């Protein structure tokens, strides 16, 4: 699982930061899942290592323009490029009507297959490898946070060891890979767990924006390997955060601490903290680290590889 930040500004783009979008790359299945799609996202994709031809799912947190204005352009370009990939879009009520109105008035036809689903609290999607859940956040309009959970993977089967024990290849290997115990013709009982590497625990990534501090964000992020959380404002601008129902850096850190996550990555920064201003993003980072030390700031085109739990928990920034 690899995260690429395509836009880390709030409200409006700046010279250094585009508006909200992140891509979750799943290399083992050659898929890309996109979370939010602010204006200019397709241009950001072209400037990154993300392959739009692998785009299979889009998850929208809410219907504010800095999170959806790039959606129609991206979908239209995918259609014009002849991408045959089926694309599922999940988002709040009204998203499908918005897309239908855009296609009607722009006379756009999607040649690729697109299906829109309305997000509802709880289990949203599940397949043999992943689960996606969502919960409502607290913003001026309906908004959702998303949790992507990777299922545990069976450990690697030690083929050479099985051969050395004289176990014939074929159906028996399949049973042993599944952890079953088999009995050979000579009476030996072989336990599958003795021939497999330890199970690889699945990873969990959570994306929460836009929201003020809320318990549902803590619930959604419980035990996450990575929490991506908005930090629009500094703690010193908490009054603005409460007025506009956005988070401060300290609120994001409190969610991370309460949920027991491994890594907090803050994003969705107000342009008021641009270089040269009195308060800058380093101040937000210091505020958050005072509560949750394992915090970093996202920037456009930053790539973060989510580590396996038995490995190092330090970020890999490419």
* 225 belongs to the catalytic site: no
Quote the longest CA-to-CA distance of the chain.
79
Tokens 């060891």 belong to residue: 161
Catalytic pick among 66, 210, 225, 237? 66
How many residues make up the chain in this entry? 318
Distance CA 58, CA 87 (A): 7
Residues acting as catalytic residues:
66
């Amino acid at each position: 699982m690899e995260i690429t930040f395509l836009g880390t500004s709030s409200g409006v783009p700046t010279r250094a930061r585009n508006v909200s979008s992140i891509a979750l790359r799943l290399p083992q299945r050659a898929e890309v899942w996109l979370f939010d799609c602010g204006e200019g996202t397709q241009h950001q994709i072209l400037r990154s290592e993300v392959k739009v031809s692998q785009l299979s799912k889009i998850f929208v947190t809410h219907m504010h323009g800095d999170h959806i204005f790039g959606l129609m352009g991206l979908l239209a370009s995918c259609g014009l490029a002849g991408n045959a990939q089926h694309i599922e879009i999940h988002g709040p009520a009204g998203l499908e009507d918005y897309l239908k109105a855009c296609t009607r008035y722009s006379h756009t036809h999607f040649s690729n297959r697109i299906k829109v689903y309305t997000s509802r609290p709880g289990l949203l999607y599940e397949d043999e490898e992943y689960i996606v859940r969502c919960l409502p956040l607290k913003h001026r309009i309906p908004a959702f946070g998303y949790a992507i959970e990777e299922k545990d993977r069976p450990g690697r089967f030690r083929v050479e060891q099985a051969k050395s024990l004289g176990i014939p290849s074929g159906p028996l290997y399949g049973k042993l890979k599944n952890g079953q115990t088999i009995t050979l013709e000579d009476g030996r009982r072989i336990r599958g767990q003795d021939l497999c590497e330890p199970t690889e625990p699945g990873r969990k990534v959570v994306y929460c924006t836009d929201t003020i501090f809320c318990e549902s964000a803590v619930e959604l992020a419980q035990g996450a390997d990575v929490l991506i959380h908005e930090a629009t404002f500094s703690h010193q601008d908490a009054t603005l955060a409460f007025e506009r129902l956005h988070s401060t850096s300290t609120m994001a850190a409190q969610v991370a601490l309460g949920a027991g996550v491994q890594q907090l990555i803050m994003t969705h920064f107000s342009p008021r903290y641009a270089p040269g201003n009195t308060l800058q993003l380093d101040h937000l980072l210091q505020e958050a680290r005072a509560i949750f030390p394992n915090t970093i700031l996202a920037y456009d085109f930053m790539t973060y590889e989510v580590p396996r739990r038995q490995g190092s928990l330090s970020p890999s920034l490419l």
